[in-house]
Amino acid sequence: MPKEKKGVKLDHISKIYKDPKTKKDFYAVRDVSLEIEPGSFVTLLGPSGCGKTTTLRMIAGFESPDEGSIILGGEVIDELPPNKRDTAMVFQSYALLPHYNVFDNVAYGLRIRKLPKDEIREKVMNILELVELGGMENRMINQLSGGQQQRVALARSLVVEPGVLLFDEPLSNLDAKLRVSMRTEIRKIQRKVGITAIYVTHDQSEAMSISDKIIIMKDGIVEQTGTPREIYYHPKSLFVADFIGEANFLRAVVSGQDEVTVEGVILNMQTGDIPAGSKCSLILRPEAVRIEDTGLLPCKVTFSCFMGAYQNYHVAVGETNVVINDYNPRSKKIYQEGDTAYLNFSNDSVNILRTD
């Protein structure tokens, strides 16, 4: 498909807007530097207003960086309009032409490029087969389901063979079940074609399921970049830990070398270079904690609910609520509300972040 796999480099880019109320300038994106490898699938993830869509729009050419440069395949593209960049965008709204059928929607970009009719037909029919819309080329857009319309939008972007494919929250208009199946299809097609893809979403599970790397943004800056496993198991900030998946935060104090104190209980734990006396948080994922009759930290069960694959507990450790997902509970002791017990966890399942 793409003639060449192209990488993208963002070199200290910033975007400044004026607040309509205060009339003061503010950074929507501040000093972002990234390198996106050719052929990789990278997701910009974060809450509303974090700068992810603005970053994508700067790569596409719909916005211009006020500071820094954007390099695509070794070429600085800051001054190029969107139609001169080797990119294609799949929009949230699909942006399909309702008075055109499927074939004409997909062929639109090729006709603008004045390709021969036979070549256009061959390319369009091939791409429709790739996105599993073969035989639907004559259907009108209003005769298609939401998922089929999304496939047409994807085909229209792929058929022009861009070096980089951009996705602006493309699944947000679909129902939950269809979102799951479509994100799987998008990932399969991206791998088959080998194209570089940059995807914007606020949905963490979507990002985890499709990405080679995730870039988490907050308030216009990059909080962390890494593989889904790195982001989940080794968050570098409380924000990242809380934003990706579910996490428990136990307040603690580093009481010595490789030693922390939680609710008066001393635990042996690797503290790295955090000095003694520092306040910190122990980050524990719900599936990494066990509830048992003896163990590390005493607790009291405040909620117990059977969820099929796991028993969901809420327990109080001092004043802190801890959520536990105890998987495969069928042959295990089930604790009830009001029971006293203990929390257990392995050291390698805990992240320690300094908070003072």
Tell me the pLDDT tens digit for each residue of 40-92.
Answer: 999 999 999 999 999 999 999 999 999 999 999 999 999 999 988 999 988 88
> Which of 235, 240, 238 lies closest to 251, judged by CA?
238
pLDDT band for position 287 (cuts 50, 70, 90): very high
Which residues of the chain are in CATH 3.40.50.300 domains?
A: 8-239
CA atoms within 13 A on the CB side of 113: 16
Residue 2 has pLDDT above 50, yes or no: no
* Overall average pLDDT of the 310-314 stretch: 97
* Overall average pLDDT of the 125-139 stretch: 90
133-161 burial, b at 16+ Cβ within 10 Å, e below that, comes to: beebbeeebeebeebbbbbbbbbbbbbbb
Q: Say if CB 248 and CB 351 are below 8 A apart.
A: no
> Which of 340, 346, 304 lies closest to 325, judged by CA?
304
The dihedrals phi and psi of 55, each to the nearest 5 degrees, come to -60, -45
Task: Report the pLDDT value the prediction gives residue 303, as an integer from 0 to 100.
Answer: 98
**Domain boundaries 8-239, corresponding CATH code:** 3.40.50.300
What percentage of the chain reaches a pLDDT higher than 70?
Answer: 99
Please state, in angstroms and rounded to a whole number, the distance separating the CA atoms of residues 143 and 28: 39
Please state, in angstroms and rounded to a whole number, the distance separating the CA atoms of residues 303 and 316: 10
Look over the chain and give the mean of its residue pLDDT values, rounded to a whole number: 92
Which residues of the chain are in CATH 2.40.50.140 domains?
A: 246-354
Task: Report the pLDDT value the prediction gives residue 178, as an integer from 0 to 100.
Answer: 82
pLDDT band for position 1 (cuts 50, 70, 90): very low
* Overall average pLDDT of the 173-183 stretch: 83
More confident residue, 245 or 51: 51
**Environment class of 179 (CB within 10 Å of its CB; exposed 0-12, middle 13-18, buried 19+):** buried
* Token pair belonging to 275: 């000095």
> Which of 319, 255, 321, 330 lies closest to 284, judged by CA?
321
Please state, in angstroms and rounded to a whole number, the distance separating the CA atoms of residues 55 and 227: 20
**Domain boundaries 246-354, corresponding CATH code:** 2.40.50.140
For the stretch 216-237, pLDDT in tens is 999 999 999 999 999 999 999 9
* Overall average pLDDT of the 133-147 stretch: 89
pLDDT band for position 140 (cuts 50, 70, 90): very high
Task: Report the pLDDT value the prediction gives residue 51, as an integer from 0 to 100.
Answer: 96
pLDDT band for position 3 (cuts 50, 70, 90): low
Our measurement of the distance from residue 337's CA atom to the centroid of its chain's CA atoms, rounded to an integer in Å, reads 36
More confident residue, 28 or 112: 28
Give the global pTM: 0.88
